[in-house]
Structure 1
Amino acid sequence: MTYKDILVHLTEDPRNVARTDAALDLARRFGAHLTALYTLPPPQQLYYMGEYIPAELFQRQIDDAKKKAAAARTAFEAAAAKQGVPSDWIESDRLPADAAAHFGRAFDLIVVGQPDPEPKDPLAVPPGVDVLPHELAIRAGRPILTIPYAGKAGTPGQRVMVAWNGSKEASRAVHDAMPFLTAAKQVVVFGVDPAKARGTPGAELARHLARHDVKVEAAHTVADDIEIGEALLSATADRGIDLLVMGAYGHARLREMVFGGVTETIMRSMTCPVLFSN
């Protein structure tokens, strides 16, 4: 198994370059084709203008969005050509999660960005971007590689941590991440409060991965005074991890879903790329 067809989500976002660079790096590494999915933000109705909205205002917003999309396409195609990566471009006026879930099911991996955890102007955030990884982890049926909002992603996948609790979501994440795991210099199967975990202990998963020639070790910690998500974040920092692999959990299978505490903590405070799967 490898990643031969990768989709990266772009939109009106200054972090497009970081996501593009990370996706191009992955495409070169795995010999993959890279497709950019650009979602056009819908025209915004300003609440203080009342019911009457001049048609030219909407058209001006649409034209501006398309102009920015054209500039983003030029930049993406130039970057892909420079790296020698075969690429395609898809443009959609659907909300990001709708578009990415629709198109993304036909790809091996979907690359998205972490929402800004502390936006200075929430109204300036493109609609739907703030919940993109959350929704896709449940809706797309594909592994979601989320690039942190802050800092540089670098080259994810050299030192990988698998957040393991024996659940089916964690098992799915492990097997969705196999191209990363088999190529990594080091993989740590990491459990928090192992006595409370479900199913297979981390040592048995490590043995399974070793049979796939993964350079793996098992480790665990006990989180007496902090949340599990905080324990995982601390472990990734202490060990110099550049990719965290974990299952994504949702308490409700609704569009407005309420996520489990661990997933939400990681989504809000990630310091390295995270591969989510469900």
Structure 2
Amino acid sequence: MRYCDILLHLTDDGRGAEKTAMALSLAKRFDTTVTALYTLPFPTQIYYMGEYVPPSLIQQQVDETRALAVTARRDFEAAAKQAGVTASWIESDDDALSALQRHGRHCDLAVLGQPDPDRDPSALGGTLPGDLALALGRPVLVLPYIGQYAAPGKTVLIAWNDSREAARAVHDALPMLLAATSVIVLCIDGDEQQQRSAASLVQHLSHHGITAKLRHTTAADIGAGEALLSALADNSADLLVMGAYGHSRLREMTLGGVTHTILQSMTVPVLLGN
């Protein structure tokens, strides 16, 4: 079982090389193709309300943006050629979410970056990965905006809560789980039903030839999201598999749900399923 085509989201966020390295590493691992989707940021000058903005100034920013896209394409295609990976390139003037929805439904895995709040003007308020996971219908692999993660998936931690979203994420991650050296199923503050379900998941994974370890922990006063981040560090995991938004999106954002915490503070790549 493998991913057959990967969609890589690139934009002017300063992380093109890191995201490209991860996508190409996965492509080599699964013998697949990579399509880079470069979204062109919208000119920021038009948002200066109440002030006249000369068209020449807007055109200047458009030209600069397109020049950056030319450089990004050159770098991506050179990296793909060096890696021996079949690759293609798409540019879009649409907002990132719309463009990724349009092109991502024809891929097995979408790879994108965690928005850097200091750099990415097209990140939709930092919610792009979560919004995409809800809308796409395909697994979404998110790279943190800090650090190097060219080849994630040696030690995979599954956040299990017996939800539909978690089950979907595990299924979507099967190629990664099959290639992993170590797989851990983690149940946080699980009741008796969730603990039984976690044990059943370990057995199910064994039917796929995956030996997984079952572990339980409690969130105590730090919350489930922080407990999950702590577990990632304690187990030296380099990939987290989890369902996106087990509760309503509004409730997650208002009360600070696990998905929201992870997407804001991720320390390793995260594969989201929904």
Match of 1:247 among 243, 248, 254: 243
Say if 2:99 is the partner of 1:99: yes
The 5 A counterparts of 1:188-227 are 188-195=184-191, 201-227=197-223
Distance of 2:136 and 2:211 partners within structure 1: 30
Quick one: distance in 2 between partners of 1:106 and 1:48? 37
Q: Note the C-alpha offset of 1:184.
A: 0.8
Distance 1:161 1:83 in 2: 28
Query: What do the CA deviations read for 1:138-193 (whole angstroms, capped 9, x no partner)?
Result: 01111000011111114211110110010000000000000001111110111001
Q: Distance in 1 between matches of 2:5 and 2:172?
A: 14
When the two structures are superposed, what TM-score results if normalisation uses the length of structure 2?
0.93
- Tell me if 1:66 matches 2:66: yes
Count of aligned pairs: 272
TM-score by length of 1: 0.92
Q: Segments of 4+ in structure 1 off by > 4 A?
A: 46-49, 196-200, 250-254, 257-260
Give the alignment of 1:96-245 within 5 angstroms: 96-116=96-116, 119-120=117-118, 124-128=119-123, 130-195=126-191, 201-245=197-241
Instruction: Work out the CA distance in 1 between the residues paired with 2:47 and 2:201.
Output: 54
Q: Which runs of 5+ in 1 are unaligned?
A: none
- Point out where structure 2 has 5 or more consecutive residues left out of the alignment: none
2:30 paired residue number: 30
Q: Please list the CA deviations of residues 226-254 of structure 1 after superposition, one character each: whole Å capped at 9, or x if unmatched.
A: 20011111011011101000000165568
CA distance, structure 2, for counterparts of residue 220 and residue 49 of structure 1: 53
- Which deviations, in whole Å up to 9, do the C-alpha atoms of 1:12-40 show, x marking residues without a partner? 11111110000000000000100000000
For the Cα contact (< 8 Å) 2:240–2:270, is it kept in 1?
yes
Task: Name the amino acid aligned to 2:37.
Answer: L
Aligned equivalents of 2:237, 2:16: Cα separation in 1: 23
- Are the aligned partners of 1:167 and 1:198 in contact in 2 as well (CA < 8 Å)? no
Q: Is the 2:161–2:190 contact (alpha carbons within 8 Å) kept by the matching residues of 1?
A: yes
Distance 1:93 1:138, change over 3 A: same
Do the aligned partners of 1:167 and 1:199 also contact (CA within 8 Å) in 2?
Answer: no
Alignment pair present for 1:5 and 2:5: yes
Query: Residues 63-109 of structure 1: CA distance to partner in whole angstroms, max 9, x if unpaired?
Result: 11110000000000000000000000000000111111111010000
The Cα shift of 1:125 comes to: 2.6
Alignment match, 2:19:
19
SS of match in other structure, 1:89 = strand
Residue 6 of structure 1 aligns to a residue whose secondary structure is strand
Relative to structure 1, the CA distance from residue 231 to residue 88 in structure 2 (aligned partners, 3 Å threshold; closer, same or farther) is: same
Q: 1:276 to 1:260 in 2, by over 3 A?
A: farther
Aligned CA-pair RMSD: 2.0
Cα distance, 1:111–1:45 mapped onto 2, change above 3 Å: same
Q: Is the 8 A contact 1:245 1:276 kept in 2?
A: yes
State the identity %.
Answer: 52
User: Quick check: 95-104 or 190-199, which moved more?
Assistant: 190-199
Letter in 2 for 1:264: H
